[in-house]
Amino acid sequence: MPDPAALAAPALRDRFATTLRSLLPDTAAPAPGPGPDPYRYADDLLARWAEPQRRYHTTAHLTAVLDRVDTLAAYAADPALVRLAAWFHDAVYRPDRSENEERSARLAERALPEAGLSAAGTAEVARLVRLTAGHATAPGDRNGAVLCDADLAVLASAPDAYAAYTTAVREEYGFVPDPEFRAGRAAVLEQLLALPALFRTPYGEREWEARARANMAAELRGLTA
């Protein structure tokens, strides 16, 4: 059976290249040289997203977040920068480490200037990546609201998809004994449920909030039973 990640890679490569090129200056004018190849950066990122320790944070998650950013694009101040942040937000991922978002942001800060992105654009992408560590967006942060809502939308999945999500998360943390995992996961759910709102865009509030809370409450009951 073909590897779904391998089948998705060509389309994802094109999505990255299109997004990056849309942010580079004077892309329609003749260039003095070939410039950086955006596909080289896409391939590096896709290799990272396909690492064997991943079970949930895979290219399937990347694709889902990109698709949700597209759904929410009208709410963003700069959708293209949000899409780049989606590419980088879990590009560095080790389940046994707590600094994944910071390391992913630093990767963006190294790669994107080399790829031709402006200093301001790079700084915004890195800021958005760091924001996914806690998904706490300030009022008026349109880009942050779109990225965080896109990342958290899995919580509003249909029951079967939500069960697959929780199974994949458990597999990523397979090295953690069950009692410790259940306690840690319950703490995460309680923290999220205590937020006044999970989603900050009007679409997320309308379409995802209630279902996400119901899913998490049911999962929490199962963990603490």
Which residue ranges form the domains of the chain, and what is each CATH number?
A: 4-224 (1.10.1300.10)
Q: Centre a 10 Å sphere on the Cβ of residue 201 and count the other Cβ atoms it contains.
A: 21
Q: Give pTM, 2 decimals.
A: 0.92
The structure tokens listed for 51 are: 């690492």
Average pLDDT of span 58-84: 98
- Render the burial of 27-49: b for 16+ CB within 10 Å, e for the rest: eeeeeeeeeeebeebbeebbebb
pLDDT over threshold 50, residue 29:
no
Long-range contacts of 47-51 (CB under 8 A, 24+ apart): 48/91, 48/92, 48/93, 49/5, 49/90, 49/91, 50/5, 51/93
CA distance 19 to 41: 12
pLDDT over threshold 50, residue 156:
yes
Q: Which pLDDT score is estimated for 8?
A: 65
pLDDT over threshold 80, residue 33:
no
pLDDT over threshold 60, residue 2:
no
Radius of gyration of the chain (CA): 18
CA distance 146 to 126: 15
Q: Are 178 and 113 in contact (CB under 8 A)?
A: no
Average pLDDT over the chain reads 92
The structure tokens listed for 13 are: 């490569």
Average pLDDT of span 52-80: 97
CA distance 102 to 129: 8
Average pLDDT of span 60-80: 98
